Structures are given as structure tokens and as C-alpha cells.
Chains A and B, each alone.
Chain A
């Protein structure tokens, strides 16, 4: 279990982090989201000990994290994070050995991850000669090659095509399932919503929301929404019959209606009166909605 307690860090006069606390349980996938410059990378660097906090501490399994513990963490920094001219297999062996794995075991671990991530054909190539997607796979392999007890990844999915995203997310979910906490940052909120049990939303160095995704969505925003589609009915003149409801958005699945004073039942009644209802649902806010609201506040 990873626990951050009240982390703070300044760069000169700029406050990068101002009291960040959250906990990631064993086997949990934890999404870390926030606008650019919010402090995500700084937080991750502090977890990995690459940067020292001005205040606060990082605990792993209830013990303060020191140099010895960090050697057993895995880290993937945003973009690159590899020696461009080094060959894939050599690179993975080197990374494993830096984390204290001895020579022959490092070779076996490198080969295992090369195979798992479908890099067998590329094992002897220089990293700079690989496509972005393959480079990202090598990066992930480099973070995993020493069987870390904690995995921290900064924007692991940026720039990947959907197949690459599937491969990477599959490997991460599998690895988390072995009981390892996995923390990653991403701007792809639908992906975070799909993969993560819990999230933290950060803005200007402070947490604005954190917790299990479902709980956050239930707690939701101040507004409630329903989505309605009525066969053969264009426009939304029928909604005039319901006071306290207004059209918020028109999508392919139907019209999104914000409820101010009206109840969902009143909207459904009006819709049925207008024609055959083909779609009706109570819409919970998505992570994207929560993010927009949190960040705008």
C-alpha cells in the first residue's frame, strides 16, 4: 500500500505541490488526473525519490520510503525514458541490474517481458529505430523488468493507437492483479474511468477530488441529468410542458436534459405524451464532467 501524506514542494517562488495526500491499496489501479502543470509529475518524482519534498512523507506498507525501498519501485517517466542508442534487450538488462537483479536473472526477465510485450523481433534494435508505440512498450518493460512492488507511470498512454492502448492497459491490469499498487497519470479520462478503481483529481498543487470513481460519480455534480430519445420527434418543443428542465446537449443517443426543479418522472411523462420513447436514462456525470467542474471551480 502506498500512502502520500501532505506532500508539498516549491520551485523557487512557484508552488508546485501544496499538501497532497492519498492512498493506493494493494492491487489497485489508481488514476491521477489534472490539467497540465497541476503537479502530477512532481508528485510522481517525489514518490520515486528523484525529487525531495519540502514537507510531507511517502509511506509504503506503513513504513517511510527510503533508498532501499525505492529500488523495488518501477517508474515510467513521461515520453522516452530510455537510452535512445541502446539496444532493446541490453537496455532492459541494464535497467534490471540497476535495480539489483544479478546478470543471468536480468537476462531472463528481459526476455520474458520482450516476449510478453511482443518485442521479440525488435530485441536487437536500437530504441531510436522503433516506432513510438514500440518505444512505449519497451519503456513499460523497463519499468516492469525488476518485478517492482509499486508501479508509477507518467502518461503511459499518450500518443498510442487503440491497439497499443489495449496492450498496455491489459498488461497493467494483469500486473496490478498480482497485488501491486499501480498509479498512473493520463489525460484520457474515458480510459482512466474504464481502468481505475480510484482517482485523484489535482489542480494547482492541491487535490480537488479523490476516491473510488463510482462514489465520485454518484456524489456527482450539483446538476442531475436525463437523456431522452423519442421516435419521430425532432426538436424539443415537448419539454416546454415541464417547468424546471432545460436542454443541455443534443447527442446521437438522445437529448441531454438538465433537471433543475423537475423530477425525472415528470420528464418521462412528458416524453411519453409526445411519442414512443426509445431511450431514457438517468445520466450520472462522467469523469470528464467531474474533471471539467473540478478544474473550472
Chain B
């Protein structure tokens, strides 16, 4: 049997056995139900109670506030001492009204614009409609996209953790049941590792594809998001980033599994990895707030953080193509470099039973 066939055989088993597990079917169903429910609920409930902070012409703002009375929208006047532009940029006000113009950061909310126009109509005898000026280019889907990127990061985070954990747990299951001894009397450790990682990775990718398709379908159907080339492109890139991020983390999770003999001990060796993913997850929020910042640019070139911090920037269109390519290359390069190291530590640890091994011990044990 060729090495490729062996890897394929192992991968097929992983894919088949895992997808037949009840827990997998249940969690997939639950995920999809939650995504559809959130998108539909968001469409039904709309904005809910909203308070807009507006600076500028006091008479106009008060008129708008009166027009809003009786609705669940409130308009609040905020005195701005510093320059308006900075206040709009940092989000401390939603809009400013001045000299017959509404100034906003990007696309001002429609209901606010309507209220301000109404206020303007009451205050002025022969009203000229207020002009809208924005300080950043208008993206009418910006809010939806922001929500969409939040989901995207959340799902990528969940997938990396879940499938990484499955790799580690699968390795421990083989060790604990000693079936690994039988398997390794027929095939090589690197083939087993590769088959396991590829099989579960394909399952994760298929699962993600389903989630993305359902999510985009629901968002498109409810009108929450206009499905265009940019959105689809971003979705495809998110899938690509899952593959790359998973390749990087899965090898590390396999090592974490190979170091212990019992599921109870797995938590201890997996913690550094789950923490790294968790930190990347939180960093991705900082990046969302400031997608062009220095932090965002640095994190794109760290293999551990790139898989969770680059995709949301791609979705909002805040990252140049060269940077996407370069950061993909860095992460792929790191994964490729990690694979032989992981394979060696894995083969050193996979047959050692008893208490948890140290990385160095497993490395040395694999000398033969």
C-alpha cells in the first residue's frame, strides 16, 4: 500500500467515524439552528430601543427629540468641546448637525436622518432638506458586515478549538485503548498523524461550509446582508483561513494528545493551545475596532493570531491584497515547518504510557 493510500485510509476512518457520532450530529444541528435563529430574530426585532447622540445646532436637535417622542428612538444632545470630526471618529457621537448639514462618520442611520429632517421642517419656515456629509466612504452594509465579521470570528474560533480538541482527544483515545500499538505495527506514525489531521480537517471544512452557506442564505433571504462578490469572496477566504489555521493548530493539538495517556490529563497539555486561541479571539475584537492599526498589521504576521484576526479585516475590506497573501504565506510556512517537528514528538510520545511526558522527553524518545 502506498503512503498516500495509507493516509487516505486513516483519514476516511476519522471522517466517517466522527461524522457518525451522535455528539457531532447534535452539535452541528444546534449550531445551524442558532445561526438561523439569530439572523431571523435580528430581522424581526429590528433595532429595538435606540439612543442617538447628536452634537451641534441645539434647536434642531431638540426639535428632532420632540419628533421622536412616543417612539423607541431617543435623540440626545451632546455638547462637543473638541472638534466634531474626532468625536465622530471615536464614536462618542453618532452625528452632528451644522449649517444645514448632517455630518456622520459613514452611513448615518436612516431613522436618525428622518428625525433630523422632521426637526428641520418644524424649525424652519421654508425648509431646505439637510445635506448629508460623511467623513468616511459610505458602505451601506457596514453594520451588517460588522455583525457578520463578529459571527465569522466566533465560528472560526469555535471550529479551531473544536477540531483541535478532537485531534487531541482522538490521539489520546488511541493511546488509552492501546489500539495505537496495533495500528503502528502496520503503518508509520507520520502516516497516522497525517491521516487523522486531514480527516478531521475535511470534516471541519465541510461543517464550516455548511454553516457559512446556511448563514449567508439566511442573511440574504432576510435582507440583513446583500450577498455580493465581496461577501462571497470574504467567505471563501474565511474557509481558506480555517484550513491554514487548522493545519497549524491541529499538529500542535496532536502533540498535546501524544504527551498524555488519559483523557483526564489532556487538559493540562492542551491549555497553552486553547489559551493562545482564546487570546487571538480577544485580539480580533481589538482589530475589528481598528482594522488598519499597527496591532492589526502585526497580528497578521504571527501564525498563532493571523487565522482569527485577518479574516474579519478581509470581510470589511480593510486589508490590502498583498497583506492577505503575505500573512497566508507566513502561516502556511509556519504550519509546514511545524509538521515534521510535531510528527517526531508525536511518534516519541504515542507509545509512552503513564504520567504526562515533557516535550523534551518525547523528542528524545523518538530518536529511533
Q: State in angstroms the CA–CA spacing of A78 and B181 once bound together.
A: 10
> Inside 8 A of A95's CB, which chain B residues have their CB?
182, 186
- Kindly state whether residue A75 has any CB partner on chain B within 8 Å: yes
Most buried by B among A50, A70, A81: A50
Q: Per a CB cutoff under 8 Å, which of A49, A81, A97 touches B179?
A: A81
Contact flags B171-201 to A (C-beta < 8 A → 1, else 0): 0011001110111111110000000000000
* Interface flag for B1 (CB, 8 Å): yes
Within 8 A of A (CB), among B348-368: 351, 368
Return the contact of B351 from the options A45, A97, A143 (Cβ within 8 A).
A45
* B177 adjacent to A49 (CB under 8 Å): no
Q: Decide if A70 touches B9 in the complex (CB within 8 Å).
A: no
- Alpha-carbon gap, A51 to B9, bound state (A): 23
| Contact across chains for B178 and A80 when beta carbons are under 8 A apart | yes
**Measured CA separation A90–B368 after assembly (Å):** 32
A243 touches B (CB below 8 Å): no
Residue of A77, A78, A94 near B13 (CB, 8 A) is: A94
What CA separation (Å) do A84 and B173 show in the bound complex? Answer: 8
Instruction: Collect the chain A residues with CB atoms within 8 Å of residue B13's CB.
Output: 86, 94
Which residues from A are CB-within-8-Å of B177? Answer: 80-84
Q: Which of A90, A98, A143 contacts B183 (CB 8 A)?
A: A98
How many chain A residues have a CB neighbour from B under 8 Å? 31
* Chain A min CB distance to B365 (Å): 9
Q: Give chain B interface residues in 1-23, CB to chain A under 8 Å.
A: 1, 6, 9, 13, 17, 21
Query: Is B178 a contact of A75 with CB atoms below 8 Å?
Result: no
B179 contacts which chain A residues (CB < 8 A)?
80-83
Q: How far is the CB of B68 from chain A (nearest CB, A)?
A: 60
Closest to A143 in B: B182
In angstroms, Cα B281 to Cα A10, docked, is 45
Given A52-B368, A71-B186, CB of A78 within 8 Å of CB of B17:
no
A22 within 8 A of B: no
| B185 lies within 8 A of A50 (CB) | yes
Nearest CB of B to A62, in Å = 21
Quick one: which of A73, A78, A85 contacts B178, CB cutoff 8 A? A78
B residues within 8 A CB of A75?
Answer: 181-182, 185
In the complex, whether A99 has a CB less than 8 A from a CB of chain B is: yes
Identify the B interface with A (CB < 8 A): 1, 6, 9, 13, 17, 21, 173-174, 177-179, 181-188, 351, 368
29 contacts between A and B (CB under 8 A): A45-B351, A48-B181, A51-B351, A76-B182, A77-B181, A77-B182, A78-B178, A80-B178, A81-B177, A81-B178, A81-B179, A82-B179, A83-B173, A83-B174, A83-B177, A84-B173, A84-B177, A85-B17, A85-B21, A86-B13, A90-B17, A94-B9, A97-B9, A98-B6, A98-B9, A98-B183, A98-B186, A99-B186, A100-B1
